[in-house]
Amino acid sequence: MRKSILILAGCLVLAAVPVAGQEAVVPQPKLPYLLEFDSKSSEDLIQFNRPRADGGSDIMLTVQFLISPVPGVDPEPGQQYKVRIEEDGKFVRDVPIAPPKRSEDLVVVMAMDISGSMKEHGRMDQARKASGVFFNSLPGKADCGLILFNHEAVVSVPPPADRALLRKHVEDAIPKGGTAYLDATFRAIEMLKPSIFSNKAKAVVLLTDGVDIDSNVEIERVIAAAKLANVRIYTVGIGEPGRQEKVTSVMVLDRSGSMNQPANDQDKGSKIQALRLAASRFVKSIGSTRRTSILEFSDSVQNPTPFTNNKFTLKGAINGITAKGETALFDAVYTAVATLDAEGADGKRAVVALTDGIDNMSRRRVDEVIARAKEAKIPLFMLGFGRKGELDVATMEDMAKQTGGKFYYAGNEKELIEIFEDLTIKLHDDGINEAELTQLARDTGGKYYSAKNVEKLDFILEQVTKKLQAMPQTETFASLSQVADGRRREVTLKLLRGSQVVAEKTRGYQVHGLVIAEMNPLVYLPLLGILFGLIALPAMLRRRTSAT
């Protein structure tokens, strides 16, 4: 009987243990914030030396991190949250967390590139899909706007706008033209300046696949305007970074008397006026690694201008062209090839030749021109402008095809401008300017995203929507160890609820300097004993041999 009672008591005790354990677990409230470093790269920790008055310098560290509000979770009433920064486990400082912005306190303008290069590799289709993901992922009460741009703003819808309308504009977009993303970004910042947005978190999301070749606004002005208006810029580079390859070209421009006539019955201006406008667009894309020369012709060929990347000089030469005389196209193209070949420039080379008529004055035959271009490996891009019946289309197509170039036909001023923009992309736009896009984001508190794989664009834009609601923080402090010992150190961010650590992140960095080895005496004393033993061994062996 006594044994049965003991067994029963033991069972009751065992049964009570889980209940007691369950009652001891106190459910923790969900965290209202997500703490993370600003990216997964070493750029989150920027190490630099700050000079001192005594001639020395201090090791400084800038830490960049994000505090994101968790949707649907509000901070507990009266509870204080902060971020503690530590270096190698030692306290640096506490950073208080400001109250998060609500979804209705967010306003965003998307600036999307619809230049001609967006037709390539399915970029426009993926951009349409990704923009839908972006607008759907934004908080429902956030205000949105849109700019679709090429060399100019094609669509400009300021916030607050209906998202269905914005999506329709994106769906209807037709890629063509050049690229002016700095102008578009500046315009987006202007949209965010009205007083109704003064108390909101403001951001511009820029998508582009090319180098800016058409903007009038400089990057420094865009960054200054963003800082003044408290606007963060998030940039997405679609495709590979540009190689900034050297490009040297000659523009062969027809100035025969027929260029004084309109291209068709609808154009009001003359062909020479359209030529000046279109060629100036081409010149606008000239950068530090691009140079061109202007060669005019009518019944005779003028001397080509010196190769230069000075846009004002080139535009001056183009605007000074006047039309008179006949047409010596073959002589002009032959001279352009010979001039470009003699220049001996590295990188990409091309001749761009425009005419509105049939050659009637050249001494050179077309087969001579083609042979010379093939020998020099210089492609010919031939442009026929005006009425087709007044052009030798077949000959120009053959010249382009045999030399690896391309033939274009423009029946009016608008088509001519589009052709020159296409040529600009083909010759000068070799990828995104990653350094400039990174600078735009970094200097305004945003972030740069690389979309080399265009199929990941929708995922990237979904990540952007999460970052838009985050509160970026930048803290700079002197390292707690001012010895340049080459040692790896760690910075830890701790999210504190009152005095309790509820989350933490750690990132390491390497200090510049000489690595100083450290060793425990219990390790190096035995090693020294072994070393002395090895040194003494030969003498001991000799003594033993002598004794034998």
What pLDDT was estimated at residue 42?
Answer: 47
What pLDDT was estimated at residue 226?
Answer: 95
**Which span out of 13-17, 136-140, 494-498 was modeled with the highest average pLDDT?**
494-498
Examine the pLDDT at 259 and tell me if it is beyond 90: yes
Do the beta carbons of residue 38 and residue 472 sit within 8 Å?
yes
Domain range summary for the chain, segments of one domain joined by +: 33-97+471-510, 103-242+431-468, 247-428
Fold of domain 247-428: Rossmann fold (3.40.50)
**What CATH class has 33-97+471-510?**
mainly beta
**Secondary structure in 3-state letters for 122-177:** HHHHHHHHHHHHHHHHCCCCCEEEEEEECCCEEEEECCCCCHHHHHHHHHHCCCCC
Which one has a higher pLDDT value, 351 or 12? 351
Beta bridge partners of 250: 293, 351
Chain centroid offset of residue 161 CA = 26
User: How many percent of the chain have pLDDT more than 90?
Assistant: 45
| Residue 391, C-beta contacts closer than 8 angstroms, at least 6 positions apart | 355, 356, 357, 358, 384, 409
Residue 294 pLDDT class (50, 70, 90 cuts): very high
What pLDDT was estimated at residue 536?
Answer: 67
What pLDDT was estimated at residue 524?
Answer: 57
Report, as an integer, the average pLDDT of 226-238.
Answer: 92
What pLDDT was estimated at residue 403?
Answer: 97
Nearest Cα to Cα of residue 441 among 159, 105, 204: 204
What is the C-alpha to C-alpha distance for residues 96 and 82, in angstroms, rounded to an integer?
4
Which one has a higher pLDDT value, 162 or 458? 162
Token representation of residue 22: 């369950």
Collapse the DSSP code of 105 into the 3-class scheme (helix H, G, I; strand E, B; otherwise coil) and give the result: helix
* Predicted confidence (pLDDT) per residue in 496-527, tens digit: 988 899 999 998 888 766 555 555 556 556 66
> Mean pLDDT over all residues of the chain?
84
* Predicted confidence (pLDDT) per residue in 22-59, tens digit: 544 556 668 888 888 865 444 567 888 889 888 888 98
Report, as an integer, the average pLDDT of 394-405.
Answer: 96
Start-to-end CA distance of the chain, whole Å, equals 87
Nearest Cα to Cα of residue 79 among 32, 25, 27, 34: 32
pTM over 0.85: no
Examine the pLDDT at 130 and tell me if it is beyond 70: yes
Q: What region, left, alpha or beta, does residue 439 occupy, with left being phi > 0 and alpha being psi -120 to 50 degrees? A: alpha
Output the CA–CA distances (angstroms, integers) from residue 139 to 230, 231, 497, in the order listed: 20, 18, 26
Report, as an integer, the average pLDDT of 52-68.
Answer: 86
* Predicted confidence (pLDDT) per residue in 417-426, tens digit: 888 878 887 7
Instruction: Tell me whether the CATH fold assigned to 33-97+471-510 matches the one assigned to 247-428.
Output: no
**Which residue shows structure tokens 């220049």?**
343
* Predicted confidence (pLDDT) per residue in 237-255, tens digit: 888 776 667 899 999 999 9
Place domain 103-242+431-468 in its CATH homologous superfamily. von Willebrand factor, type A domain (3.40.50.410)
| Residue 176, C-beta contacts closer than 8 angstroms, at least 6 positions apart | 114, 115, 116, 119, 150, 418, 421
* Predicted confidence (pLDDT) per residue in 177-201, tens digit: 888 999 999 999 999 999 888 888 8
